[in-house]
Chains A and B, each alone.
Chain A
């Protein structure tokens, strides 16, 4: 389902197999477990680490496991509820995060990519697609919160959510949703790892990095249940470093 490896200062989380990487309870749990390992390893590794999330095959992720959920609203809501803590894990992760979008990223899969700090995408194939309007599903509130936090141009947000626009990498880059476009999946993964190494080399304190991330996106964090540190706690941290 997913594997985790460490290459120097960079952790690489791979969604394995040439399938749609549908976010089932099992896959979500597996990813969360890997992300937790990364957070723990970061604590002992010290400042200067980064995470790259990459997919094998034609898909980054085609979203929540709607196939399994079928017509059951309960099952669908259960999956929606299960993805939220993973989003929180990523927003709170004490290191820079990069999504290497090596294939289609739709709905929950697109959201997963948006939960990362940076997005690098293959330009030859694959689209980013918020399919809910086409399928006839409302967007969960925390989905909207994350979308609004990361896609701040009004017309871009409209195109993604209200038009169900399928974005190729080049368009997504123009809209500020993707940071770099690469020719194919191998280059995309390589570029993502290279960026990860550059960011890791800045040797940022992971705890501070995560804190600043959360202060940039407070509404998204609130929507996924992250409670930001108080100013008092932040000041104490600062004083201890003087």
Chain B
């Protein structure tokens, strides 16, 4: 444990000091950290999943607080939590299937028990229905009427469950942890190969003799362009330098090294050049649930220019950048003001910042925001590692591919309550709670909408 603690603290301080650059690196390191947290967590005999979720959640909250503007951290934490629940559920359903037989044999006298097999069958069916479909919410919601109908579940039933579970316990706990770690490994794999998976689609989007415009530097964009180049497509790239960090310069250099015809322009020349451009391809910092994009500063201008000239605006984003939150959510920190020294040399301008004279307040303010928010309507296409999507599909996509319905994804509290229910395997108790959660989830939704109204006002 202590060494994980040290690892966690180290990572937190790195996040805090903004030492980790790029959401992919952050996502990968977060996943690796959570993997070691999971492997170090001592799993009790009961509530294994809850224990895992507890520890992941505890670490996750600290990580998110360390750099709230890096949404990839939260995304990965959510996905790991989801993985734990998913694995737990599949194990539970398997156990239920086993239990089914014994329950039938043991408790014939209890007529209501008949419901139980039906219930678990439904759960199994739900789980097996689709790999794409997250079974959690839907499955459980389907269960609700059944279990609600038997609020007086006999203690004998519970006991028998307990017995059969205890027999399973040792193998289950080991299996759960093992499975979770396996799945997290897959997640890490996914994150680290997302470039290639996105790049594979390059040929479908980039055509011969096209002119592509991009801003700043993104590794995903670089790989994407190079993949098209490797497939013998010949095209030209305009790179906007991306003030104030001028990472476009680095991208231009890289592109030239890979043999691409590159033109470097200033950010202010984007409007002038856009009429010659066939497609804008950019990277993103995060993709929000409504399809809005948080991207390096300057991109909104590019998006507007693209819209004006009807140039497709394509955003490349690995699935770790998909965030289940809405941009107007009060908890989301959309922007960060970085040091003004990226714009100005402090020494040179120190005499403009003399507070000793005048009104005691500086006349010179330097503001250096890091991100822009690009509205979903300005985005023509998202290309993720699972393919190309329309912005309006992003929220749905997130639900299908990544985690769960938005109501829960937002809130850790409902998640932990729900996990408790599942882990207890007591659907009767859970049903009541589920309703509550459902209600709260809705409430949460309303609240966020309310806030959204406020924000836009």
Q: Are A and B interaction partners?
A: no
- Which chain A residues have a beta carbon within 8 Å of chain B's beta carbons? none
